[in-house]
Amino acid sequence: MKITALGIRFPDNDYINSIQAWLKVIADQEIQSYNFTSKQQIVGLFNKSIDGIYWLVQNKMRYDVSRLDASYLTITEENVYLNEEVDKYLIEQGRNLNCEFHVVYFYINAPWYYIYSH
């Protein structure tokens, strides 16, 4: 399965910078080339790498990162949406998701992508 859209639902919008940065890294590294085909693989990658991204970007907000524990930023397969599940979730939930749903659309055979939060 080729991943054309990836959605991450995280119920705390205070971490928007970390999650968007993680999606940008994934998009920049062309996730399709790593042959990820399951939510389990996405969850493993997210949970192993989000700590570093958190420490690099989260301090751009009002937090003192020296006092925060990034282990809070973990997801399960229930938080991952792939391809048509992304659009289905957005349609079902409506427009105002309080920036708790983060999406990257990969444009196949194009050198660009689109990331946003709802």
pLDDT by residue (tens digit) across 59-110?
655 555 566 566 778 999 999 999 999 989 988 887 677 788 998 887 765 5
Can you read off the two tokens belonging to residue 35?
């042959």
List of E strands, the chain: 5-9, 80-82, 101-106, 113-117
Three-state SS at 77: helix
pLDDT, tens only, 31-69? 656 667 789 999 999 999 888 888 888 765 555 556 656
Residue 28's pLDDT band (cuts 50, 70, 90): confident
Task: Say what the pTM is.
Answer: 0.82
For residue 48, give the DSSP letter.
H
pLDDT score recorded for residue 118 = 62
